[in-house]
A and B are shown apart, each in its own frame.
Chain A
């Protein structure tokens, strides 16, 4: 209320002080992330129902995803979260050079992630595992895990014979839509990060004001968390 005497050049007039300005930004960002949680949450909810319903088919389909590339990509994305956290720390220290360095690293790691994702998509394309008129599925080549199959038999569920490949196709639909929306969020993230890189180059930030770096950091970490759930749900249904 009384701190206008030494007003910072970063302080917008509607705020009392920089602390209030920063908390307002954080509050708005978390409100946005709550809507993002529910945006992805709808897809996760659909996933849960169909995974429950068609467990054997989804078990079998999940086993065809490349575990090595998926695990590597998880590590790459977690590393990009580390470099993003270090970029925010650089902002805290007021070093524009370090902000730029860590943001460039974050973009690079994000690009590696999307490159690996692209290789995986290519593999699905080559194997005709993309839902649509050219979808092909050989049930004999891709059995579900033994334990799941035995458990289903014990409960009186018949083993799928896959004359109707619909449930398997549905798994790949969820795979492409969920990883696709995740990738779209990363591409939007690239735009945000590139903007920060330019702004840091123009010395827009200081140890007193680096809120945009912090807020983009929140977004990037959120996208990372979505992958933290997508990875076990899509790749790790059953690897026994």
Chain B
């Protein structure tokens, strides 16, 4: 790495820095717009782009050896496995979700009781 890079990194760093600040402004602005169910994916996409810019340029991952890049990707991959399995479970519990939620916030009603089998009632 030391011999190959005679030219300065500094202009690239400044471009990335300005881009990051623009993306911060973008994500704050979008949060004020009614985007409904898209709000979360948009916010995470902006954060993801910011992360890619930091990792590729500030952390020099684009200049690293394939083995180092593999290690970096492995960390994100394990995180992906954890989120996929966890949310795959929680996001598919829609039938009991509303009832459990109302139980948790103290709104115990007849319908909430009837839609949750007694055996599956959540421990407080």
Contacts and interface: CB of A to CB of B under 8 A. Distances in A.
Interface of A: 18-19, 22-23, 26-27, 30-31, 33-38, 41-42, 44-45, 48-49, 52-54, 57, 67, 71, 74-75, 78-79, 81-82, 84-86, 89, 92, 147, 151, 155-158, 160-164, 166-167, 207-208, 214, 217-218, 221-222, 224-225, 228-229, 231-233, 236-240
Interface in B20-40: 20-21, 24, 27-28, 31-34, 36, 39
Interface string B67-83: 11001101110110011
A233 B71 CA distance: 26
Nearest to A161: B107
B46 interface: yes
A34 B43 contact: no
A167 B105 contact: yes
Contact of A45 (B8, B36, B86): B86
A37 B17 contact: no
Contacts of A224: 54
Nearest to B83: A45
Contact of A207 (B2, B28, B32, B50): B2
B67 to A, nearest CB: 6
A217 B59 CA distance: 7
Contacts, number: 170
B98 A157 contact: yes
A27 B67 contact: yes
11 contacts: A67-B28, A86-B13, A92-B2, A147-B34, A158-B107, A163-B106, A222-B59, A228-B50, A229-B47, A239-B28, A240-B31
A78 B54 CA distance: 9
Main secondary structure of the interface of B (DSSP, over half): helix
The 8 closest A-B pairs by CB, nearest first: A34-B75, A164-B106, A236-B31, A232-B43, A30-B71, A37-B75, A239-B31, A82-B17
Contacts of A208: 2
Contacts of A239: 28, 31-32
B107 to A, nearest CB: 5
Given A30-B75, A86-B10, 17 more contacts: A23-B68, A27-B71, A30-B72, A31-B71, A36-B75, A37-B76, A48-B86, A49-B87, A78-B24, A89-B8, A147-B36, A164-B104, A221-B58, A229-B51, A236-B43, A240-B33, A240-B34
B64 A225 contact: no
Interface string B1-25: 1100100111001100100110010
Contacts of A85: 9, 13, 57-58
